Chains A and B, each alone.
Chain A
Amino acid sequence: MNLRRLFAIAFKETLQVWRDPRSLSIALLMPLMQMVLLGYGVSLDIRRVPLCIYDQERSQTSRELVERFVASGWFIAVHHLADARAVRDAMDRGTCAGAVTIPVDFSRELASTGAAGVQTVFDATDANTTAIAIGYAQGVIALAAADFAARWAAAHGTRPPAAGRVDLQPRVWFNETLDSRNFIIPGVVAVILGLVGAQLTSLTVAREWERGTMEQLISTPVTALEVMTGKLIPYFAIGAFNSAFCLCVSVFWFQVPFRGGLGTLVLTTFLFTLVVMGIGYLVSVRIRSQLGASQVALILTMLPTSLLSGYTFPIDQMPAPIQAVTLLVHARYYVTILRAVFLKGSTVLDLAVPILALVLYAAAIVWIAARAFRKRLD
């Protein structure tokens, strides 16, 4: 590796990126757009689930229960129905996602025993949303049940007979508000850095083949390692800028808590950038056309990163063979690391396994990419 030649390549590449509107827009506008689109668009939280209310009793207490559903913010009461068949009709028409049926003896039962039954029905055609909505409904009812029981106890001077069972009080750590944004945004950062990094470098060698400058370049004494390193240097600068940008947007705009060390973040981001830029460069060396290379790089980075990295779909919920495949997805390690650094404040030691995986990945990709570039035309 000769520093003079390395510098010549790096300087030339920097000038070219600077003067190429296509590269520059990928480099600077794509992260901004994606941060906004994915940050706002992708949310697993469910709010304002439309409910039908079939209140058979219409008492003050039953109305209070309905208000508790609405006041929680998770639900809105779209219809008040008069009979059981109307519930079924409303579900069929899709005007509501669930129904709450309050029995005719609700407040009487509550007054005598301190507890009463309520029926909730949900449309489970969208199983995911329903599971979450059921969770919210249980939360609303549990809270209401506790208040009703306390009131009964105050009135009677003893604990209600229905109480006295084991009382589960769940606590969640690290993302206390269970805000899916805190969980999604670090993943979005990984997706963006992965996509942009590979896109940029996928053009770098292909451009030289397309323009015919490659033949001239490989007729000089420059080595394959100098070409690769020199070409990647300006993209690393862009990668560093994008990482800093995404981090700032996450923390200051989306208010995702950042509890880890900046050093851990910088180290792991460097490794991940090395992997994605190595992939882009490898594709560029192989494909030799800018359009083809950028398409292949898109498929290689976008699909695995969005589907198999655990960024939206939890890896431990996948079938075993697919879980095995995710071990090959570079982004899964970075997504794991980012979430842990953001939300748990994990250190390099805590993250030794995923970091080691990234190190191995980076070493393998760089080794393959350096060898893929041949200074021959045949």
Chain B
Amino acid sequence: MNPAVRAEGLSKRFGRFVAVDRLDLSISKGEIVGFIGPNGAGKSTTIRLLCGLLKPTAGRACVAGFDVAREPDAVREHIGYMSQKFSLYPDLTVRENLRFFGGLYRVPRRDIEVRMAQAIAMAGLQGREDALVQTLAGGWKQRLALGCAILHRPPVLFLDEPTSGVEPEARRHFWDLIHQLASEGVTILVSTHYMDEAEYCNRIALIDAGRLVAIGSPGELRRRELGGALFELECSPLGAALVALRQVPEVIDAAIFGDRLHVLLRQPAAAEGLPALLARHGIVAGPPHGITPSLEDVFVQLVSRPHAAVRA
């Protein structure tokens, strides 16, 4: 079966700035893929390319079987999109916004009332159907925007940082809705800069400086991408310890995490010797603890690696 989303060598340049750099991506039907990366990494630009809102400088992409550069209107019929900025009409009511998007997507008239009621229920807005959207709090607005984006039952859904600025409980609620949609066969590409949200995705695409750095399930990425054992070390001063550790051959990498260091070692056995080694540099260090790497560890590790090879 053809993938729901496929990009080959997809690139976008703005003048001399390369926002997306030869990106390859393939997403199967019903999959949830998370785009993770720092601000300005090219997440939004990639999503806009896939929605047909930007014209690729090079490469090509197909969404729901349509070429985004050649058939953008066919693509638009088959996708739902939530842009990064909240984008419903604040001076229209909940119902008016839904009816507007239902009209634009030509939702069959016999279905529109049922689907609007479903969207209102999904957003938890029963009883507030006639409230102006500008009076709603963030989480409700976000869920209503999702409701508007799926009124026409699109097979592919692009969500650009849908949970930014939304309180944690509302974020969890939102992810429940996304999983429900995926279980119904909707393919979802969602970008976020919350690392904890990456765990909710089937696969994660790590993006940095416009390049796809790694892609895989959260478990795979944690196991495979680090290539060593991770230890946490309490020591002081942190900066001097970082410099000292990076000169040790057993250390693949070291990075500051909050008030402590995360140290990646080739062999777990080398951990025992670290406090003594640091003491020689006049650095006070506690005993190292082996830890399970978080996705953030993986990301930091991958991004610091020069010319990281993409492995899928």
Contacts and interface: CB of A to CB of B under 8 A. Distances in A.
Contact of B105 (A19, A220, A378): A220
A376 B53 contact: yes
Interface stretch (B29-37, B87-95, B117-125): B87-95
Contacts of A20: 91
B53 A221 contact: no
A215 B83 contact: yes
A8 B104 contact: yes
B85 A376 contact: no
B116 to A, nearest CB: 13
Given A212-B87, A215-B85, A221-B77, A5 B53 contact: no
Given A215-B83, A215-B85, A221 B104 contact: yes
A216 B88 contact: yes
A377 B53 contact: yes
Interface stretch (A10-18, A62-70, A163-171): A10-18
B79 interface: yes
Contacts of B262: none
B257 interface: no
Contacts of B99: 8
B76 A220 contact: yes
A231 to B, nearest CB: 13
B277 interface: no
Given A219-B81, A376-B55, A7 B103 contact: yes
A36 to B, nearest CB: 31
A128 interface: no
Interface of B: 14, 48, 51-55, 72-73, 76-77, 79, 81-83, 85-92, 96, 99-106
A377 B48 CA distance: 9
Contacts of A19: 91
Contacts of A221: 73, 76-77, 104-106
A5 B91 contact: no
A4 interface: yes
A15 B96 contact: yes
A95 interface: no
Contacts of A9: 103-104
Nearest to B85: A212
Contacts of A180: none
Interface size band for A: 20 to 34
B89 A8 contact: no
Nearest to B82: A216
A213 interface: yes
Closest 7 CB pairs of A and B: A8-B103, A212-B85, A216-B87, A219-B81, A220-B104, A215-B83, A221-B76
Contact of B81 (A12, A216, A376): A216
A119 interface: no
B51 A219 contact: yes
B92 A216 contact: no
Interface in A201-221: 211-213, 215-221
Contacts of A212: 83, 85-87
B55 A15 contact: no
Nearest to A18: B91
6 contacts: A19-B91, A211-B89, A213-B88, A219-B76, A220-B101, A221-B105
Nearest to B72: A375
Contacts of B89: 12, 16, 211, 213
A213 to B, nearest CB: 5
Contact of B53 (A7, A12, A215): A215
B77 A211 contact: no
A177 interface: no
A311 to B, nearest CB: 36
A16 B91 contact: yes
A117 B292 CA distance: 117
Contact of B87 (A2, A7, A215, A376): A215
Given A15-B96, A213-B88, A222 B53 contact: no
Contacts of A12: 89, 92, 96, 100
B104 A222 contact: yes
Interface string A179-193: 000000000000000
Contacts of A213: 87-89
A377 B101 CA distance: 20
Contact of A219 (B14, B83, B103): B83
Contacts of B54: 376-378
A221 B52 CA distance: 11
A8 B51 CA distance: 22
Nearest to B51: A219
Contacts of B76: 219-221
B106 A2 contact: yes
